[in-house]
Structure 1
Amino acid sequence: MSNEKGADIVLYSYFRSSSSARLRIALNWKKMPYLMRPINLLKGEQRSAEYAEINPNRSVPTLIVNDVKLVQSVAALEYLEDLYPGYPLLPLNPESRAKIREIVQVIVSDIQPVQNFRVLQKVDQAERTEWAKNTIEKGFEALETMLVPVASQYCVGSSVTLADVCLAPQMWNAQRFGVDLDRFPTIGRVCHNLMELEEFRAAHWQNQPDCPPELKGQ
């Protein structure tokens, strides 16, 4: 759902970045057109002086909404929720909101950072896949237990929330690194339901304009 002309929303993204995917999903869900600007992490474009002026952390995503720039995905998700309350991703109930944010933090703080691009670059190449696989499996063990009492069609009940926005990209990482998903039936059921939604399918890394042709359809 990109808009190439006069976009008020610009997203700097990398096709396999799960942090970027969270924002792609949220923007799709809220029906907000945006301009995609790919940043190739493998080529080191995030380390360029030009991009450092945009994002001093030299990472993706970077979300720019009018004159507001945000370089952390959860802060950007919360901002989009406040700015565009239509098609909400947080319920009104305080207890449900707290549970959703708890699930979000398990994914974005405990699981994803330990197997992200920067960390994997520090791991011996022959061990990277196993490192990422083990990290995700340990995180999913906790997450599966947390979801069992609250999940229904989606992570928390029957409405799509920020928890789902963060879970789906982490599932894509799990598939990429060969995690045994049969061990996590609740996570698997929720993600199956999410992938029935066009907003999620369109945000998948294989459907991004910067995804190399040889990786599409894998």
Structure 2
Amino acid sequence: MSLPKFVLYVDSQFLSPYALSVFVALQEKELPFDIATVDLAAKANHEPPFVATSLTRRVPTLVHNDFSLSESSAIAEYLNDLWLGTPLYPIEPQSRARARQVQAWLRSDLLPLRQERSTEVVFYGPTSAPLTAEGQASVQKLFAAAEALLPANSENLFGEWYIADVDLALMLNRLVFNGDPVPERLAAYATGQWLRPSVQLWVHQQRPPL
């Protein structure tokens, strides 16, 4: 049986943490796909060709044959439900629910941290700007949750690797790559996750100058 056709729409700078998450999911499922870039700075996501493709006008958007889907966690669950290969979510219901919670939280909270340590510091280089009080509060909230989530002596959140590990590691690496203080255990976790081959394929994408 031939594999279906996938096209993944990502931002032209390859900066989106959510595009990274879907890219890794596709790699882990060993599904062949093409990449199409969207220039968000030029508002290309609001131009008719992309509007006709993406219901929410956001990246990532995945096109699977004649079906398109946006929102990274929805895409990951779709891929996990349809295809075998590396599981993206735990099978056990409470662990699966926790993994979904982690993803939803990282996408909806910690805004000061996401703004003050954007993914530019990960993929283009650090900033010298200090964290504000709001940023520091977000950092401490992140550390407290990560410490509670990550079992002792474990390389992953749920024993085995799942896609939520990529999402949490990237949030931590906003600080690690900028040289901000990060607890040793969390820094080691984030660094280890970053070395996963599927993640490194995203890291080594050709990025245009900012």
Shorter-chain TM-score tier: 0.7 to 0.9
* Aligned partners of 1:30 and 1:84 also within 8 Å: yes
Change (3 A) 1:19 1:91: same
Unaligned stretches of 5+ in structure 2?
116-128
Shift of 1:165: 2.9
Offset from partner CA, 1:116-165 (integer Å, 9 cap, x none)? 6xxxxxxxxxxx984695475244234323324477111222x1102113
Q: Is the 8 A contact 2:150 2:156 kept in 1?
A: no
Matched, 1:195 2:203: no
For 1:183, what is the secondary structure of its paired residue? Answer: coil
Q: Which residue of 2 aligns with 1:30?
A: 29
Structure 1 residues 106 and 80, CA, compared in 2 at 3 Å: closer, same or farther? same
CA offsets, 1:51-88, max 9 Å, x none?
A: 12212422211011122211111100000100112111
Rate the CA distance shift 1:7–1:19 in 2: closer, same or farther, 3 A. same
- Number of the residue aligned with 1:124: none
Unaligned runs of 5+ in 1: 1-5, 117-127
1:67 matched residue in structure 2? 66
Give me the whole-angstrom Cα distance separating, in 2, the residues matched to 1:200 and 1:32: 15
Matches of 1:23 and 1:71, distance apart in 2: 10
Give the superposed CA RMSD.
3.2
Match of 1:13 in 2: 10
Distance 1:114 1:57 in 2: 25
Query: Identity of paired residues, percent?
Result: 27
Report the TM-score when normalising by structure 1: 0.75
Match of 1:119 in 2: none
Shift of 1:32: 1.1
Question: CA separation of 1:41/1:110 partners in 2, compared to 1, >3 Å: closer, same or farther?
Answer: same
Aligned to 2:142: 140
Match of 1:115 in 2: 114
CA contact (8 A) 2:20 2:202 kept: yes
Question: CA 1:173–1:87 in structure 2 vs 1: closer, same or farther (change >3 Å)?
Answer: same
Length, aligned pairs only: 196
Q: Which residue of 1 aligns with 2:77?
A: 78
Query: Within the alignment, does 1:162 sit opposite 2:163 as a pair?
Result: yes
Q: Structure 1: how far apart are the matches of 2:18 and 2:37?
A: 13
Between the aligned partners of 1:183 and 1:114, the Cα distance in structure 2 is 13
Shift of 1:114: 7.6
- Correspondence 1:208 to 2:209: no
Q: Is the 8 A contact 2:113 2:139 kept in 1?
A: no
Distance 1:92 1:7 in 2: 25
Q: C-alpha displacement at 1:179, in angstroms?
A: 6.4
